[in-house]
Amino acid sequence: MYYIDRIKELIKEELSVKEIDFSYPSESKFGDLSFACFVIAKQEKTNPVQLANDYVKKIKNSGIKDYFSDVKAVGPYINFFFSNYFLAINVISEIKKENEYGFKPKNTGRKIMIEYSNGNTHKEYHVGHLRNIAYGDSVKNILIANSNKVYPVSYINDFGIHVAKTIWNWQKNPVFEERPEDKGYLLGKCYSEASRKLNKEKEEGIETGKEEVSSIMTSIEKRSGGDYELWKKTRDWSVNYFNNIYKELNISFKETYFESEMIEKGLKIVDDLVEKNILTKSKGAIIADLEKYDLGVLPVIRSDKTALYPVADLALASKKFEEYDLDESIYVVDVRQSLYFKQLFKLIELSGYDKKLTHLSYDFVTLPEGMMASRTGNVITYEDLKNNIYSKIYNETKKRHDNWSEKKIEKVSMSLTISIIKFEMLKVGAEKTITFDIDEAARFEGFTACYLQYTYARASSLIRKSGFKIKLIKTDFESLKTDKEKELLVKMARFKEAIEIAAKRYNPSELAKYVFELAQIFNDYYHETNILKADTRVKEARIQLIKSLSKVLSLGFSLLGIETLEEM
């Protein structure tokens, strides 16, 4: 049990109260911990102001009084001011002895599968996909830190009409085969070009391209012929391209599922659900009539017998539940699919599965000039975004460190580039739209990855420059007396709570805000405090404090999927 948790328990024991709704005052002048006496006073049929005063007297005459520098009653509220010494000696020792301070014991909670990075082969991997993968991976990390056993998986759409469009245009333009770029990247360009061509033909009343694409799709579905062979080859290009991106982003999956592998099983499930009258036939199509659940009608099979998304999704859900004894299955998919997932979850429930199903939706990523769309080519691709940010960061790093080797400049610049991409996707709640402004994202001040990385690098530099190779026999924690030192300690003591809140809400932005606020407190402390030139014992205590800060920052970064930089 961590320090603040122990303090809360000691207060409850001393006051003989089982439940107290503690809170944290918005300003330190009102204390470090607080609670209101309204509920307790009502239960005990007494005045809350009088009860608060009685409780304060009891605390001040108790054995736990030394944990506080002061305890005050303000009307019906009791405000506790922590003792710097007890706070420092406990919090710093806790951080030091635990490799993963703030994390709960692993694999002791629920079994959760989280599905994210559901890309489409033969399409561009763009900034919208990056929000999905950064969000999903961070939620995974946070759930693991909160004791759950988590299985990260990816589901790839490799069998839709978009594939046929891409193959159609690839065959008509041999120049794509000759270009030097990564073939998976070129497939996305080919798809966007195909969509524009087909839209133009439609406007002109031409059906040739549409008919050719339909023929290609039929060949792929039959799994025979030259079109099918080209599908297999190009599919591998896309999958390899995705895997290279995952490697750069330091993201891995327990399993990767493909739509093409689910269709056959899904069709059998559909037949079974028709027999059970869960699905019904309508004008040659097969639908799920969910009107009585206020969910409308969900088409499952078209009248031309081609499968829609629910076919593969039903098969995938069945496969997940058969292979893993899950308590919860999470789907990370953008907000446009909210109704579909309500319908799908109801259909899965009607199929006989009693599982917790969660759709984590997120809003769009836009450009400063407007919305993105793969079919029009109005996108920032992963490659374009990465290269643009890298160029800015590389030039800035080279300017600041003309004594660094080229290899070091490149390594630091790339690490910082990935940090920027991920942090921009996580620093706001999933329900908010992101306008990805590259110039703003690459700034070294404000709520940015560069600011956070610079803070960590600054702390690391202080530790290196301190000259302490071996800790003194006993750190003089009584020397940590300033308000900022206490503010740092209280903030670090609340790291576990920040993880719990982020896990409960599936919200990495809670952690992003936490590490930013911690960094702000430290930078204020750095500017107003003499650290390296202080007396030896004071200096050693402050370096121990900064080492603890570095560790908490590093752990916070790790939950966001961001690697730390010792220098930048």
Taking the CA atoms of residue 440, residue 445, residue 448 and residue 450 in that order, the dihedral angle to the nearest 10 degrees is 100
As a whole number, the mean pLDDT across the chain is 94
Q: In CATH, which of 3.40.50.620, 3.30.70.270, 2.60.40.10, 1.10.3720.10 is domain 111-261+316-366? A: 3.40.50.620
Given this model, what pLDDT does residue 368 score?
78
Answer whether residue 377 shows pLDDT above 90. Answer: no
Q: Which CATH class is domain 387-559?
A: mainly alpha
pLDDT mean over 544-555: 97
pLDDT tens-digit series, residues 480-539: 999 999 999 999 999 999 999 999 999 999 999 999 999 999 999 999 999 999 999 999
HEC sequence for 5-68: HHHHHHHHHHHCCCCCCEECCCCHHHCCEEEECHHHHHHHCCCHHHHHHHHHHHHHCCCCHHHE
How confident is the model over 128-168, as pLDDT tens digits? Answer: 899 999 999 999 999 999 999 999 999 999 988 999 999 99
What is the Cα Rg of the chain in Å? 29
User: Mean of the pLDDT values across residues 382-387?
Assistant: 90
Q: What's the whole-number mean pLDDT along residues 371-377?
A: 49
What would the pLDDT profile of 454-466 be if each residue is shown by its tens digit?
999 999 999 999 9
Rounded Cα distance between 73 and 76, Å, is 7
Confidence of residue 384 (pLDDT cuts 50, 70, 90): confident
Output the pLDDT for position 28: 87
Minimum mean pLDDT range among 79-93, 141-155, 301-315: 301-315
Q: What is the pLDDT of residue 470?
A: 52
Interval 263-302: pLDDT, tens: 999 999 999 999 999 999 999 999 999 999 999 999 999 9
Band (pLDDT 50/70/90 cuts) for residue 253 is: very high
| Global pTM value | 0.94
* Domain coordinates in residue numbering, the chain: 3-82, 111-261+316-366, 387-559
pLDDT at 64 over 60: yes
Q: What is the mean pLDDT of residues 166-180?
A: 94
DSSP-derived letter for residue 336 is G
pLDDT at 550: 98
Nearest alpha-carbon partner for 136 in 150, 124, 126, 123: 150
Confidence at residue 375, expressed as pLDDT on a 0 to 100 scale: 47
Q: Which CATH architecture has domain 3-82?
A: 2-Layer Sandwich (3.30)
Please state the rounded mean pLDDT for residues 325-352. 97
Instruction: Indicate if the alpha-carbon torsion angle 530, 533, 538, 543 is positive or negative.
Output: positive
The confidence band for 469, taking pLDDT boundaries of 50, 70 and 90, is low
